[in-house]
Structure 1
């Protein structure tokens, strides 16, 4: 697969997409647009420099953490509640840890030495921690009772978090399931994101 597309072509595509991203982001509103541009800037920072540093988790936390505010600023002109931003930032950190697990050997061979690569196989064991806190925040922090959906979410995600540790080959897929279950539970609560 290496060599099918030239570096020049990749750079041209990246620059064109970055230029298109600016007006499309701002079409959601000024603050929402700036928030989205912040998430894209975090992704670029990761790819250009931070991927191979001990702070490789920071762009994930920033980009994921800003997403709820992109939605709320674009729809209700208000920042997302702190717990939504904190939970999605933690989902990002957990995803970063889990995503690296299958590629640890390849990453190390190519010189990628981000935080998860430095942790090695501990990444798979640590990934459930931020995901668990994120799930609890998304279930417990919104106003109102936890309800049946909240308790089911906590139970399902507890099983999924154990699977991340036990199932060596697919921690990232299970991480996506944890995030999906948590977000669906939040959506089922209605307008929890908007005060």
Structure 2
């Protein structure tokens, strides 16, 4: 028969070295001992207890196909890459529309193709700068209101990256502006500075429209004084054209402000579009702003056709 103590030692040693097997469909984990009996215990064999495990838990996990995972990760990486986030934070629609409008005005005034291209590029880069600066100034406020489409507010885009891109854009817009002439370039750079200040001052009160009017009102000078080369000097703009562009800036301000009336009202802002929106309603204000802006655009086209941009 042997010694009982030796049998106990051998039994414990066998339990530790045997692999766990599944018994039928009940999913009980067992290990065979030296005398053919079945003892139940945990996987490490330190203590022997009765355990019933789900048969699915003993089965190896089925991993999803690696190809969909790679595609999903690729989409996520593309959406969260810095160039895409910078483009989203630049207010691209406004930048493109403004650049196309001013470029078209330059073409209508008879400027050569290369000058029209420079005008378009200058205004496009300037509008991108304004968009980045606006989102940088408002990032904490946008985060508080959970404004969608703001990568700086939801921390997908690092502010340092946006500031670096903005600095590079400023270094680009200066020579682009001067390419149209020192006087014309200075007029546009002044317009850009006014726009940047408008992101910080006067935006909450009654005179929020003033930076927009001044910024857009300087664009006719950029066009009328402009030409090819830094030494070029054109003619001063017509007063009527300057006034119409300033009126256009007010219309653009109203259209832009419409989408933020609710959070602005929550923050206690009192600027003109908000006051009119509270009295008229957002829908009526949208219609009036759209009609006003369209009429001003038609007047600009009419004035440019019959009198031109410059005196």
Bucket of the pairwise TM-score, normalised by the shorter protein: 0.5 to 0.7
Aligned mates of 2:303, 2:215 — CA distance in 1: 19
Aligned mates of 2:164, 2:223 — CA distance in 1: 29
- 8 Å CA contact 1:99–1:172 kept in 2: the answer is no
- 8 Å CA contact 2:205–2:271 kept in 1: the answer is yes
* Deviation sequence 1:107-143 (CA, Å, 0-9, x none): 233x372622552426869xxxxxxxxxxxxxxxxxx
Residue number among 256, 264, 268 corresponding to 1:99 in the alignment: 256
* Deviation sequence 1:142-192 (CA, Å, 0-9, x none): xxxxxxxxxxxxxxxxxxxxxxx9745555544443333222222332x53
Q: CA deviation at 1:78?
A: 1.4
Name the structure 2 match of 1:37.
189
Q: CA deviation at 1:26?
A: 0.8
Q: CA deviation at 1:27?
A: 0.8
Q: CA deviation at 1:194?
A: 2.5
1:69–1:55 Cα change, 3 Å:
same
Name the structure 2 match of 1:138.
none
The answer to which structure, 1 or 2, has the higher relative contact order (CA under 8 A, 6+ apart) is: 1
TM-score normalized by the length of structure 1:
0.65
- 8 Å CA contact 2:213–2:249 kept in 1: the answer is yes
Q: CA RMSD in A?
A: 2.9
Matches within 5 A, 1:143-162: none
* Deviation sequence 1:39-81 (CA, Å, 0-9, x none): 1001110113332343322211111111111100004611102
Structure whose CA Rg is larger: 2
Aligned mates of 2:200, 2:248 — CA distance in 1: 22
Matches within 5 A, 1:1-195: 1-2=149-150, 3=154, 4-75=156-227, 77-109=234-266, 111=267, 113=269, 115-116=271-272, 119-121=275-277, 167-189=284-306, 191-195=307-311
1:114–1:19 Cα change, 3 Å:
farther
* Deviation sequence 1:8-60 (CA, Å, 0-9, x none): 22222222212211111111100000000011001110113332343322211
TM-score normalized by the length of structure 2:
0.43
> Going by fraction, where is helix more abundant, 1 or 2?
1
Aligned residue pairs total 154
1:113–1:10 Cα change, 3 Å:
farther
